[in-house]
């Protein structure tokens, strides 16, 4: 599988990632790191405690990381959490709605990570 095919398989934008990172080698390097950098795990752990500062910081990091990689759906889902817990913003979601949003992120990430691991195995 090529890097472009990986993006097709996960329904995301290879072109966006290439526009941001400029070099395919960097896209390859950073998409592989997504499954080992622990950002999503940190976000989901923050959701277990519902700590506003942790939820903001981790969701903001996920939003930026995934946005740069052209992973729009993950970035947008993380952005909703980030804005919910941005200091100074009033809460608009219930804890249950936040947890549902985090479940969506976990599901999206699971599918994405599975394809990234498959890509990495085929392209050591």
Residue pair 51/63 in contact (Cβ under 8 Å)? The answer is: no
pLDDT average per 10 residues of sequence, the chain (124 residues): 97 96 97 97 97 98 97 97 97 97 97 98 96
Count how many domains the chain has.
1
Cα separation, 29 vs 83, in Å, equals 29
Q: What pLDDT, on a 0 to 100 scale, did the predictor assign at position 104?
A: 96
Query: Which tokens sit at 27?
Result: 């896209």
Q: What pLDDT, on a 0 to 100 scale, did the predictor assign at position 37?
A: 96
Residue pair 98/82 in contact (Cβ under 8 Å)? The answer is: no
Q: Which residue has the tokens 């405690």?
A: 49
Q: What pLDDT, on a 0 to 100 scale, did the predictor assign at position 66?
A: 97
Reported pTM: 0.94
Residue pair 31/14 in contact (Cβ under 8 Å)? The answer is: no
Where residue 40 sits, what CATH number does that domain have? 1.20.120.160
User: What range defines the domain where residue 28 resides?
Assistant: 3-122
Q: What pLDDT, on a 0 to 100 scale, did the predictor assign at position 92?
A: 97
Q: What angle do CA 74, 104, 25 make, to 5 degrees?
A: 25
Q: What pLDDT, on a 0 to 100 scale, did the predictor assign at position 54?
A: 97
Query: Which tokens sit at 24?
Result: 């395919």
């Amino acid at each position: 599988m090529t890097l472009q095919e990986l993006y097709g398989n996960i329904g995301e934008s290879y072109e966006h990632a290439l526009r941001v990172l400029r070099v395919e080698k960097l896209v390859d390097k950073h998409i592989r790191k997504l499954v080992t950098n622990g950002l999503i795990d940190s976000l989901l752990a923050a959701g277990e405690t519902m700590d506003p500062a942790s939820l903001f910081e981790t969701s903001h990091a996920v939003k930026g990381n995934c946005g740069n990689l052209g992973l729009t759906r993950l970035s947008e889902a993380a952005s909703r959490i980030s804005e919910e817990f941005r200091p100074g913003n009033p809460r608009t979601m219930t804890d249950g709605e936040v947890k549902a949003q985090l479940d969506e992120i976990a599901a999206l990430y699971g599918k994405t990570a599975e394809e990234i691991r498959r890509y990495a195995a085929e392209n050591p």
